[in-house]
Amino acid sequence: MSFWNYITIASWIVLSILVLVQTRGASLGAGLGGGGEVNTVRRGADKTIMNLTIIVATIFATSLLIGLLTA
């Protein structure tokens, strides 16, 4: 396996965790799509997790593309 494969796998795992951590409400039902609230402004930890998700998604996509081009 090449270096880019390891980066792709690691970023995929981190991205999966970050996406699962993001919730729209405080209850378990809200995390599974049952929340009726609409949050328009993210603050604090929600904003940080969202920004980390964007960064890790960019790393994942870039490493995947580079891995495909160098194969």
Summarize pLDDT for 18-62 with one digit per residue, the tens. 999 886 655 445 555 555 556 566 678 888 889 999 999 999 999
Query: Using an 8 Å Cβ cutoff, are 8 and 56 in contact?
Result: no
Q: How sure is the predictor about 2, in pLDDT bands with cuts at 50, 70 and 90?
A: confident
- The structure tokens listed for 65 are 């593309």
Cα–Cα distance for residue pair 42/64, rounded to 1 Å? 29
Query: Using an 8 Å Cβ cutoff, are 23 and 34 in contact?
Result: no
- The structure tokens listed for 59 are 């790393």
Cα–Cα distance for residue pair 17/2, rounded to 1 Å? 24
